[in-house]
Structure 1
C-alpha cells in the first residue's frame, strides 16, 4: 500500500545503463529491461509523487574521480550527452516530474529532498542496485527517511551483485524494507 505522503524515487533509468550494445556500464544480458513493467506500474501508481534522477559525469573530475575516469574515459562527457538521457519509456513517464541530475553515485541530498518536498517515506527503484540505488537508499535511511526498495524494479551490474546489494540494504531493517512491486501496490 502506498502512503499518502510517500514518494517514488526512480534512480538513473538512463540509456547508458540500458543499452549494452555500446555501453560497458549497462546492466548485463538485458536485465535492465526485466524491470520495465514493475517500474511503469510504480510510476503510474504514485501519480504526481515521483522524482527521477540521472547520473552525469563530474565536470571536471576531482580527487578520486580523476582515477576512476582513467578507467572509464568514454563516459566523461557533458551532462547533455545523449548517453545520459533517460530511456524512452522512462522519459515518457517522467514528463511533468522533477528530474534531479547528480555527478555522484548516491543521489540523496538537499536537491532530492526538496524535490520530494521533504517527505520522510520513499520507495526506490532503478539502477544499478549495487551502486546508485544502494548509496541513495543508505544515505536517505541514515537521514531518517523510511525507505522501501522495489527489488523487482531494480537491476544490478550482475545478478549476483544485485542480490548482494539487496541483502546489504536488508541489514538496515526497519529503516529500509526490501520488498516487491506487488506488495507495494496491495
Structure 2
C-alpha cells in the first residue's frame, strides 16, 4: 500500500536507455519496455506525488568523467539533445510533474529532495537498475529515507545485472525494500 506521504521517483526513463537500435546504453532485448505497464500503474497510483529524473552528460566532463567519456563519446552531447528526452509514454505521464536533471548517475541530492517536498518515504522505479537506480536508492537510504524499489518497474543493463542490483539493494533492509508493483499499489501480496 502507498502511504499518504510517500512519493514515486522515476529514474531516467529516457530515449537513450530505451532505443536499442541506436543506443549502446539501452536496456537489452526490449527489457526497458517490459517495465512500461508497471511504471504506468505506479504513476497513476501515486497521482500528484511523482517526480522524474533525467541523466545528462556533464558539460564539460571533469575528473574521472573525462576518462569515462573516452569510452562513450557519442553520449557526450548537450543536455537538450533529443537522446536525453523522456520516452513518449513517460513524457506524457510527466506533464505537470517536476523533472530533475543531473549529470551524475545517482540522482539523490538537494534538488530531488526539494522536488519531493522533503518526503522521507519513496518508491523508486526506472533504469538502469544496476546504475542510476542503485546509486540513487543507496544514497537516499543513507540519508534516512525509507525506500521501496519496484523491481518489475526497473530494467538493467542485463538481466543478470538487474538481479544482482536488486539483491544488493535488498542487503540494506529495512532501509530499502524490494517489492513488486502489485504489492505497492495493493492489488496482491508478494510471497
Q: TM-score of the superposition, structure 1-length normalised? A: 1.00
Q: Which of structure 1's runs of 4+ aligned residues deviate more than 4 A?
A: none
Encode CA deviations 1:23-72: one digit per residue, 9 max, x unaligned.
00000000000000000000011000000000000000000000000000
Measure, in 2, the Cα distance between the counterparts of 1:55 and 1:118. Answer: 21
Instruction: State how far apart, in whole Å, the 1-side matches of 2:3 and 2:79 are.
Output: 34
Q: 1:111: which partner in 2?
A: 111
**Number of residue pairs matched by the alignment:** 186
User: 1:120 corresponds to which residue?
Assistant: 120
Gaps of 5+ in 2: 187-191
Alpha-carbon displacement from aligned partner over 1:146-181 (angstroms, at most 9, x marks no partner): 000000000000000000000000000000000000
Mark the runs of 5 or more structure 1 residues left unpaired by the alignment.
none
Question: Distance between the aligned counterparts of 1:140 and 1:125, measured in 2?
Answer: 14
Correspondence for 1:66 = 66
Q: Distance in 2 between matches of 1:112 and 1:171?
A: 24
* 2:138 is the counterpart of 1:142: no
Corresponding residue SS for 2:31: helix
TM-score (norm. length: structure 2)? 0.97
SS at match of 2:52: strand
1:65-103 deviations in whole A, cap 9, x for unaligned? Answer: 000000000000000000000000000000000000000
